[in-house]
Chain A
Amino acid sequence: MRVNMTVNGRPYEADDVWEGESLLYVLRERLGLPGSKNACEQGECGSCTVRLDGVPVCACLVAAGQAEGREVVTVEGLADHARQRSVTRAAEAAGAVRPAEPEADQPGEPEADPSTGPGPSRPGQVVGAPLAPVQQAFIDAGAVQCGFCTPGLLVAADELLERNPEPSDADIREALSGNLCRCTGYEKILDAVRLAAARTGEGA
């Protein structure tokens, strides 16, 4: 069968897809997007987590045909996704602020600078390829070891911060409980999500 979908804002078309193929297989093997990982292929480890019409899902449990005509965001598109979100929010904030200045300090509304991701002084950054705050924070906090769980954790953590910019530790643990990591013991992953939240809150 033929499957059409939008991945990271770009239209994709896959031909000769066998009906039994998962969204994960099509992303990895047919569309050249192997960032989403294949650690268990049974929905237990979360390393294939992608956004499907905004909702985090295990791509291994979604039949490729179910993605027909829908929007997918993978780790490869996470930086763009975060940048667009911050642009949108800045525009919304600007629109909201003007008529009601005294209430500008609304709780939970991050002040985002639309033009920049993390600043150029952050370690590990490739010039010209700004990362999403959560990606940069994973590098800086030491949350990446083998890195196989990282793409799924990043998509899940970014989605958490999108709906809850100031999560408590218990919130972070709950949101990431579907993502297995075998290397880090999760401590540095918690650090990374806290760091990303703090930086976003500062408008970094």
Chain B
Amino acid sequence: MAADRTLNAPTGVAADRTASAPTSLTQATGAPRGTVGESAPRPDGTLKVTGEFAYSSDLWHEDMLWGFTLRSPHAHAAIRSIDTAAALALPGVYAVMTHDDLPAGTHYGLEIRDQPVLAKDRVRYHGEPVAIVAADHPETARRAAARIAVEYEELPLVVGEATATAPDAPLLHPGRRDHHASHVPHPNIVHRQPIRRGDVPAARARADVVVRRDYEVGMQDQAFLGPESGLAVPAEDGGVDLYIATQWLHVDRDQLAPVLGLPADKVRLTLSGVGGAFGAREDLSMQAHACLLALRTGRPVKIVYNRYESFFGHVHRHPAKLTYEHGAARDGTLLYVQCRIVLDGGAYASSSPAVVGNAASLSIGPYVVENVDVEAVALYSNNPPCGAMRGFGAVQACFAYEAQMDAVAAELGLDPVEFRQRNAMSQGATMPTGQVVDSPAPVAELLRRVKALPMPPERAWETAGGPVDVRALPGGLSNTTHGEAVVRGVGYAVGIKNVGFSEGFDDYSTARIRLEVIGGEPVALVHTAMAEVGQGGVTVHTQIARTELGVDRVTLHPADTRVGSAGSTSASRQTYMTGGAVKHACEAVRAEVLRRGRERFGASHPGWAEPERLRLADGKVVTDGGEVIGDLAGILGDGAIDLEREFRHRPTEPFDLRTGQGFGHVQYSFCAHRAVVEVDTELGLVKVVELAAAQDVGKAINPLSVVGQIHGGSTQGLGLAVMEEIVVSADGARVRNPSFTDYLIPTILDTPAMPVEVLELADDHAPYGLRGVGEAPTLSSTPAVVAAIRAATGFPLRRVPVRPEHLTQLTHLTHPAGG
């Protein structure tokens, strides 16, 4: 018998537990710890280390069924027939559904509703959902799905720009009528964004040095560890309650309700424990399928992907082909950049349009260049759908422009760091979009800091008098070298990432704060719909509430759709946006506390008349002179204050569709890396010895978490540099490595020491001056590692991930397009 731990379980951040941990901390140490700027412990930390934290795959319900998805074995095929009779006949099977069984809406999508809930008469990528099954055991559901007979007729493939835009190319979405359809040059192009500024031909005529090269970035997977999963429970009112791991509850709901044929208020979502996201949970995966099966059977339905299915269950980072031309004067001044970025969006739009906007607007990096000619496009193809992943279009560009910066510096005979610093942007600089950067942009300083760090010791594998420690060598315990042919290289890179949603999107977040007295002590309850995916937003919310309300005890309400939208946990935006909303709502609560205090006690002290000079601290109302004039418990009495507020960042505007000009981004963040690698040049094996980072974070709300974000982002960039790629077969557009055996992510042995320098230069537009942290470190890590490998080996390395065959002059034998 399974223990009954389900419908409470999704409230993983259980209110009383979460509050008790930080509170006991404060009482025990005698010193307040847990306000803004301190490394407060995670409120969910104890639950996570004891195994009690309920992730979306841990849920259980009496009478629940298991859902399973039948997926297309072909990347492009017409569906001639589907026969579900044999599946339905299997004992233990409760429902089988195909496109014909959908009760209402048939498509969903983040920006363009072009993705079928279940394929109708055509599949467009390998792994596309075709039918769903509910059964009383996961193995029964799997066997039933295998009994569904689908007759396919394979169609010609669209796999790259040449086949996508050929005159007779099959159209992925014939007759499309979305808002980009009218301005794209071909219906198989999702979106196109040019950016034009200055006069590139004139600048080219003046250039002393011109470097033009092609680059390629492979398809990276987010590879979060907690698989797509959730539990849908049919409700008595005809609606459904979904306990789910996602990045944005409200946009999931808004896509689900039309598919289920329900009003939005009957589709109630509660965030379950989320095992990482990195962009892969922005799109729907099993949400609609679980809800459809639950409503069809009248039973709770749980769906949990395994790792194989997870590789088909979410979008990936766009693979990209990039062509860059940089021109510079002999004195080291960049004169122009011309580039073209082709992103393969795969079968459905997902967030491709926004990725195009980012790739274009951030395409030249954190440099001042007066003459710019940029074009970025995303293709529709029969490759796996691509969308959001940490770095979101800026990663691909950064790999190319930083390789170019090294190449131009080499042509000029300049030190690559010095050349970057000479052209680095700073506050007041103008972007290629015409936007003036109006907060600190310490690009040159970040480079200076990583360069000034001490170098890791040479030949660390040598031990005093003993045998070599092969663990410190490329190849590690495979014992492939004892130091022979091992060469060290050092590389640098810096990148620029936007923070928050851009291009005129109405980006906001909501927080509800309840302040009341419980057991004689004031307690703040924070309720938001923010998806905590591991980043530590929950910790930040407790810190902000403590800081703004002067209370010790803060309780976190489970995130759900009963409160207003928090926006997405993406674009490095949640500390800025939902943190900002919590701050904003706390300020409103504080004003109400002071109003009530003035009403009741105003006569007792003149300080009440000047609320702007009062603050809340340690449960008391304190003047700016430090005098205590009231206490929260006394002011509140039995009455709670309960207020909900929205927070918006300043508005942005769309990029002009011809020139790319516009105030498109709300904030920029910058990170620089220095990579030190050692390469076994005989075998092409790389060991990253150290990966140092320097990043400006505006204000470190939680320094420990900030460093954790920089470490994690740097490591994902390292993975893209040397190992991570979803390999799609050239002949069939089929995914060849959907497993952790074949898709490699860095282990603790692949990951080096990562010293981090954190700068805190306030952005006056942002709450506490903070700057979004999560994505910037993912950008420059990749080009820094590859630059270091180039320095060690001399190979040009214009494609990531770099593989051993690229470093051993055997490339032509295995990867015709590589190297």
Binding site for B on A (CB under 8 A): 18, 20, 28-42, 44-45, 47, 74-76, 78-79, 120-127, 129, 131, 135-136, 138-140, 142, 144-151, 154, 170, 172-174, 176-190
Contacts and interface: CB of A to CB of B under 8 A. Distances in A.
Interface centre among B705, B711, B746 (most CB of A within 10 A): B711
B751 A150 contact: no
B48 A42 contact: no
A173 B748 contact: yes
| Interface majority SS (helix, strand, loop, mixed), chain B | loop
Contact of A40 (B46, B715, B739): B739
B54 A34 contact: yes
Contacts of B20: 126-127
Rank and list the top 6 A-B pairs by shortest CB-CB distance, nearest first.
A35-B51, A146-B534, A32-B3, A148-B275, A185-B711, A147-B48
Given A136-B49, A182-B276, 10 more contacts: A37-B57, A41-B307, A121-B29, A122-B28, A126-B17, A142-B704, A144-B45, A146-B274, A182-B745, A185-B713
A181 B226 CA distance: 11
Given A124-B42, A142-B708, A186-B751, A131 B225 contact: no
B647 interface: no
Contacts of B808: none
28 contacts: A32-B1, A34-B60, A35-B50, A35-B51, A35-B52, A37-B55, A38-B57, A38-B227, A39-B225, A39-B226, A44-B740, A122-B28, A123-B22, A123-B33, A126-B21, A146-B224, A146-B533, A148-B276, A170-B469, A173-B748, A174-B477, A177-B747, A179-B748, A180-B225, A182-B712, A184-B712, A185-B712, A185-B715
Contacts of A38: 57, 227, 304, 306
Given A150-B49, A186-B715, A124 B748 contact: no
Contacts of B698: none
B5 interface: yes
B563 interface: no
B786 interface: no
Nearest to B54: A34
A124 B20 CA distance: 8
Contacts of B222: 182
B21 A42 contact: no
B725 interface: no
Nearest to B308: A42
Nearest to A142: B704
Contacts of B704: 142, 188
Nearest to B710: A185
A134 to B, nearest CB: 8
B748 A176 contact: yes
Contact of B225 (A32, A47, A122, A135): A47
A37 B41 contact: no
Contact of B708 (A47, A178, A188): A188
Interface in B732-784: 739-741, 745-749, 751, 753-754
Contacts of A148: 55, 224-226, 275-276, 534
Nearest to A137: B49
Contact of B46 (A36, A75, A124, A189): A124
Contact of B748 (A126, A151, A186): A186
Given A37-B55, A173-B748, A184-B708, A145 B536 contact: yes
Contacts of A47: 225
Given A44-B740, A145-B536, A179-B748, A188 B49 contact: no
